[in-house]
Structure formats: C-alpha cells, structure tokens
Chains A and B, each alone.
Chain A
Amino acid sequence: MSSQPVSVKGSGGAGGAPLRMLWPFALALAVAAFMHFVVGPNFNGTVVQVLLFAGINITLAVSLTMVNGFTGQFSIGHAGFMAVGGYVAGGLVYYLSARFFDSPQIAFHGGILSAGADYRPDPDHPLPLLSRGDLIMIGSCLAGGLVAAGAGYVVGLPTLRLRGDYLAIVTLGFGEIVRVIFQGTGPQVLFTKAQEMRDTPLHQLAWKLGGAQGFNFIPIYATLFWVFLLASITVAAALRLKYSSPGRAMISIREDEVAAQAMGVNVTRYKVRAFVLASFFAGLAGALAALSIGQMNASAYGFIKSFDFIIMIVLGGMGSISGAVLAATVLTILPEALRQFDSYRMIAYALLLIIIMILRPQGLFGIREVWELGPVRRLLARAGRGGSAA
C-alpha cells in the first residue's frame, strides 16, 4: 500500500510528453482548416452561416456543460457572458482597426484564415495567411473572453457559496444587468467621423458602444476556421477536464455536495472555477458571434437566449460533452431546415424539455459520452483498461 500517490517512474518520459500535451490542439487546427478550406468553399453563404452558428453554439453548449453538467449548478445567464465577450471584442476590433489602419472605411484587414466564404483569391493582391488585422482580432477576442471570465468571477464568488437555486436567480439578474448597462452606453462613433475617432482617447471610446441602437459595422472576421478552432479547443478542454482530478471534483459536487465536502473537495472553489472557465469560453463564443454577424444588440442576449443553451445541454444529457455537441448541432440546423414551422419550434422545444425531464431526467446520454454507451463501451473495456483517455 503506497501512502503517497506520486511515484516517479521513467516510462511515460520526456519524449512523448509534448505530443501528448498538444495533440488535441493540433487536431483542433486540422478540424478548423478542414472546415475552412474544404467544407466552406463547397457550400453557399446560407449553409456556411448555419455552420458558423453551429460552431458557436457548440462552444456555448459545451461550456455551459461545465457549470450545469459538471458542478450541477444552474446558470441562466450564459447569454449575458456571451454579450460581454461580444461587446468587448466587437468594440476593440472596430475602434482599434480605425486606429491602426489608415483607411478606416475598409473595415476588414484580415488574412486568408479570416476571409469569408465568398472570397476568391486575387493573384495581384494575395492575402497573407495571417495579417495584422488578424492579430488585432485574436487579441480582442481573448480580451472579450477574459472580461467575461472576470465577470463570471465577480458573479460566481459570492453566489456559489450559497446552496440551492441562488445561482439561477443571480445569473438571471446578471444577464438583465448586462443588457441594461450596454443599452445605456453612448452612441457609436461612426467611420465617417474618422477625426473624432482618432481624437477621442480609447478609454472614452470604450463606453461608446451604441446604447439601445446597438453596435454596428463590426468587421467580419469570424470564419469557419476561427469558429471551429474555438469549438474544437473548447471540446478538448472540457474532455480533458472531465477525465482529470479537478473535473471529477466538480462532478462530485453535482452528485452529492455534502459527500464531496466530506471527501475534501473545496466545493466553492471548484464551482467558481467551473463557472469562470465556462464564462471565458462563452465570452470567446460571444466575440466570434459578434464578428460573424457584424453587430451587437444587447436585447438579443436576454435570458430567453440563455434558454437555448439550456435546452441543448438538457437534450444532450447533463454532463455529456459529446451529447452537448450533438444537440447543439441538431438544434442549430433543424430550425433552419424547418423554417416554415418556426412558430411551432419553441412550442416543440418546450414540450420536449418537459417530456425529457419526466421520462429521461438525465437527458439523452446522461453524463456518459457517446463512446461510453452500450456496445461501444463494452468494446473499449475489452481493448484495455486505460484510465485517462483524452
């Protein structure tokens, strides 16, 4: 009986470590490139738009899984974090582009990776793979994610100490406060007023986010590449978390909070961590959403929007990442395919929610992943008893 868990053995040594650490990110890059260079050019703009939303929704559903699925806390403010990320990133890209490029009228300064589906290569002016505009965009998106994570920390720390439904109430309130705050910001400084834009210090521009009129003319950078890069990274992170000690600590809270505490899990810390991480990814997704439709309007990010993601994870199974991916994809594409029944869509969702809760309360897959179900699982069990898969 070893009393100390760590015993250093040479076997899994230095050679394989970097590969093992980084392969999901390489895979994410490959998926993103495949979507951008192979799938994108073969479909028309409408299909690409649906795919973009699918990727963004996958990110949001999987990140929400970390809160609702792993820790069992109930957040109804996910769209609020999306809005924070979207406004921060949209505002930064818009105003920074104006600062850094001489001709602010031409909003888009991206490279090939950010060029939309309708882009056809021009031999006289070849686009670089990555341009300065892309760097501004990436920085802005990360800033959006970080600000959203910070908001998650501020909201989560006091609330997650309390038991029960308080997170649901507070996140609901948070979503509304975010909406009201952004609707109270000053009017957007338009491209036509280039001089004013240059003379106003950045920290003042930060509050000129369009108010109730919304923030428009955000350069469109979000392509299948960036959206699916984010979605793949989110999925990889969620999987790695789920099959590791910190992730199991989170899941133990959802299973039985009292027992988790008694086993030494700092429940407040792990609830907050899950919540902050989820807010970060929601902020990034919100940033890409803003950069794909080119505008932000706070009124579109109320709790009714948050319900969309709740429906996705309930359908997929509370805690199942592959289930969330599947449900997000289906629930994004299906309504587009069935547009003529649009007024019945939400009624169908509502009934589906109620029926699933009554007949299959753990969602379609429960906490299991697709490959852990029935026959697939038996196959894997025979193949070998590896503990950590991802």
Chain B
Amino acid sequence: MSSFLQTLIDGVTVGGLYALIALGYTMVYGILKFINFAHSDIFTLGAWMTLTIAGWLGVQAGGGATGPAAWYVGVGVLVLTMVFVGVVGFVIERLAYRPLRQAPKLNVLITAIGVSLFLQNFGQLKFIFGTDPAPTPLLLPGVTLFSVGGVSIQLVDVAVIGTSLVLMLGMEVLIFRTRMGSAMRAVSFSTRNASLMGINVDKVISFTFVIGAMLAAAAGFLYTLKYPGQLKQTADGMWVMLGLKAFVAAVVGGIGNVRGAVLGGLLIGLIEYLSVAYLKSEYRDAYVFAILILVLLFRPEGILGRATVEKV
C-alpha cells in the first residue's frame, strides 16, 4: 500500500513536469500547427541554466559547507532561469521560424530538428556546458514534512507539485482571462482572421514561444530539484526522451488544447510510474509510446481535442 502511494506521488510529480513541457508543445502546435522538436532541448537548457545560475549565485553542490541555500535564492534561480530561457525562445522563433511562416509544414519541422540539433550540440561544447557530469546544487533541504500511510512526504515533492500547480493556474488565467490570452486563442483559431481583426500575429507568436520556453525552463529547474545528484549532458537522448514523453502527453491530451496538455501530462506520468512499479521496468519508454500509438489509432484528436476538417 505504501509503495503504491509512493508511486502515485512520484507519478503526479513527474506528470506535473510533463504537463509544464507539454503546455509549450501544445501552444505552439495550436498556433503554428507544427511540432516544435526543439522544445525538449529548451527544457534541457532550463535544467543546465539552473545549475549555472545557482553556481553564479554561490550555491554549492550537495550543500557544501554552507548547507542548503535560503528559500529566496531558489526562487531567484527559478526566475532568472525562466527569463534567460525565455529570451532564448524569443531569439529562436525570430531567427529560425519566422522566416518560414509561409513555408510548407515539412520545412518548419525540419528546421525545428535543426534547432534541436544545434542546441544539443552547442550545449555539449567544452566551453558551454560540456559533457562531464555536473553535480546539482542543493537548493532545498531534504526535509520530510509529514507521513501519510507509511509514506513520508518530502519538501521537494510539495515544492515541485506546488510550483507546477501555480504555473498551470497562471496559464489558465493568462489564456482564458486576459487580452493576450484571447488574442492567442484567436490566432490559434485562424491566423488570417486574427490579423484581419487587428491582432498583431507576430507579436502573439513571439509571446507564445517565450511563455512556452519559460514553462519548459521551470520544468528543467524542478527536475533538478526532484532528481538531485549527477546530471549529465548526454548525446544518448536521455533529456530528449523526457521532452518527448511530454510531447506524447500533449498528443494524448489533445494537441492544441491547453487543458488537455495538463491532463495528458499527469496521465503519462502516472502510467509511466505505475507500469514501472508493476510491469517490466526496462520497457518504461515503450509503454508511453504504446499508449501514444493506441490513442492515435482510436482517438487521433486526443482526449480533449476536437477533430478538424481540412478546407478544400
């Protein structure tokens, strides 16, 4: 029973991270109708900037002699990481995607792969992040808050779930309660009509990329909290895999649908951790992709998505 509860907590925590990344995938797909393959690398960048910025702020790996950092340092690292990665997202959209606004979808997809490869390999250069494993800074003390049914709830879990929740609620308010949000929804409905209604489409698209990148950066930050220890900038696709699972979450929830991304994220997180706990654990990635294929077969528009009709 207690291991089941522990699995649930882990599933929800990771599901929250998937949801944050999935939001970026789904918003870009909703507006530009292409899979932003580089998004998982934005997430990776978030994790590595967390390490770098924490280093600048003097937080030591594993706590060092000074112990864990004060709470406001953690918040500062989070905010700075989000701002930095947001700027990177803006630049990428401006330089790589904007020139292709009228191009076929395939070209944009290939460009996204190009951006992804660039971020990965640029990050692996010696004078950027390198390929050596890096220890994570201790931003939170390893405190057990309370115990439920034999499972000790860690401060980290509460912080990760709490931050995800705050960001997701923020997105809900942004998209459904603000002027910018209604502009985003209008552009996602029809780029042309939105621009006829006087919406600055380029500005909305830039904004969407920046927001998506910031959420992925937050997910990267939270990932380093949840899984401290040695992080490795690897070429074997560990980071990309995490991002891809988030993408699967977006598709399962209904790509283009913001609430679907959150639902899909939690679902994929739970399914992954439950299947690892109760089925063969080596196949964890295969389970996630098997679910993707099942969804595409029986409900290609996703759980909350709507089927679209192509205009002829």
Listed in ascending order, the chain A residues whose CB lies under 8 Å from chain B are 68, 72, 74, 158-159, 162-166, 168-170, 172-174, 176-177, 179-181, 183-184, 258, 299, 302-304, 307, 310, 314, 318, 343, 346-347, 349-354, 357-358, 361
Given A165-B34, A357-B111, are A346 and B100 also a contact pair (CB < 8 Å)?
no
Given A162-B296, A162-B300, A307-B113, are A180 and B118 also a contact pair (CB < 8 Å)?
no
Say whether A353 contacts B292, CB under 8 Å. Answer: no
Say whether A347 contacts B100, CB under 8 Å. Answer: no
- B57: Cβ under 8 A from any A Cβ: no
Give the most central of B113, B247, B280, B312: most A CB within 10 Å. B113
User: Which residues in B have their C-beta under 8 angstroms from that of A68?
Assistant: 106
In the bound complex, how far is the Cα of B278 from the Cα of A136, in angstroms?
A: 42
- B176: Cβ under 8 A from any A Cβ: no
In the bound complex, how far is the Cα of B121 from the Cα of A165, in angstroms?
A: 25
Say whether A346 contacts B121, CB under 8 Å. Answer: yes
In the bound complex, how far is the Cα of B237 from the Cα of A303, in angstroms?
A: 9
Q: A163-B310, A170-B293 are in contact. List 10 more A-B contacts (CB 8 A).
A: A74-B106, A169-B35, A180-B286, A184-B280, A304-B237, A307-B113, A346-B120, A347-B117, A347-B122, A349-B114
Q: Which of B120, B122, B235, B247 contacts A169 (CB 8 A)?
A: B247
User: Which residues in B have their C-beta under 8 angstroms from that of A169?
Assistant: 35, 247-248, 251, 292, 296
Minimum C-beta distance from B297 to chain A (A): 5
Say whether B110 contacts A353, CB under 8 Å. Answer: yes
Minimum C-beta distance from B198 to chain A (A): 29
Minimum C-beta distance from B239 to chain A (A): 12
What residue of chain A has the Cβ atom nearest to residue B95's Cβ? A354
Say whether B285 contacts A176, CB under 8 Å. Answer: yes
Say whether A180 contacts B283, CB under 8 Å. Answer: yes
What residue of chain A has the Cβ atom nearest to residue B298's Cβ? A158
Given A176-B289, A180-B285, A343-B125, are A170 and B107 also a contact pair (CB < 8 Å)?
no
In the bound complex, how far is the Cα of B99 from the Cα of A181, in angstroms?
A: 41
User: Which residues in A have their C-beta under 8 angstroms from that of B35?
Assistant: 165, 168-169
Q: Which of A174, A184, A350, A358 contacts B117 (CB 8 A)?
A: A350
In the bound complex, how far is the Cα of B126 from the Cα of A357, in angstroms?
A: 28
Given A159-B296, A169-B35, are A350 and B118 also a contact pair (CB < 8 Å)?
yes
- B214: Cβ under 8 A from any A Cβ: no
Query: Which residues of chain B from 100 to 158 have any CB-CB distance to chain A below 8 Å in the complex?
Result: 100, 103-111, 113-118, 120-122, 124-126
In the bound complex, how far is the Cα of B115 from the Cα of A358, in angstroms?
A: 13
In the bound complex, how far is the Cα of B113 from the Cα of A314, in angstroms?
A: 12
- B244: Cβ under 8 A from any A Cβ: yes
Given A173-B248, A354-B115, are A361 and B107 also a contact pair (CB < 8 Å)?
yes
User: Which residues in B have their C-beta under 8 angstroms from that of A351?
Assistant: 114, 118
User: Which residues in A have their C-beta under 8 angstroms from that of B107?
Assistant: 357, 361
Q: Could you jot down 17 A-B contacts, CB within 8 Å?
A: A72-B106, A165-B35, A166-B296, A168-B109, A169-B292, A172-B244, A173-B292, A179-B285, A184-B283, A314-B110, A343-B124, A343-B125, A346-B121, A350-B117, A351-B118, A354-B111, A354-B114
Say whether B310 contacts A174, CB under 8 Å. Answer: no
Say whether A173 contacts B289, CB under 8 Å. Answer: yes
- B197: Cβ under 8 A from any A Cβ: no
Minimum C-beta distance from B205 to chain A (A): 17
What residue of chain A has the Cβ atom nearest to residue B280's Cβ? A184
Say whether B105 contacts A176, CB under 8 Å. Answer: no
In the bound complex, how far is the Cα of B296 from the Cα of A162, in angstroms?
A: 9
Say whether B237 contacts A353, CB under 8 Å. Answer: no
What residue of chain A has the Cβ atom nearest to residue B34's Cβ? A165
What residue of chain A has the Cβ atom nearest to residue B119's Cβ? A350
What residue of chain B has the Cβ atom nearest to residue A72's Cβ? B106
Say whether A176 contacts B118, CB under 8 Å. Answer: no
Say whether A353 contacts B114, CB under 8 Å. Answer: yes
Give the most central of A165, A318, A354: most B CB within 10 Å. A354
Minimum C-beta distance from B4 to chain A (A): 24
Given A349-B117, A361-B103, are A302 and B282 also a contact pair (CB < 8 Å)?
no
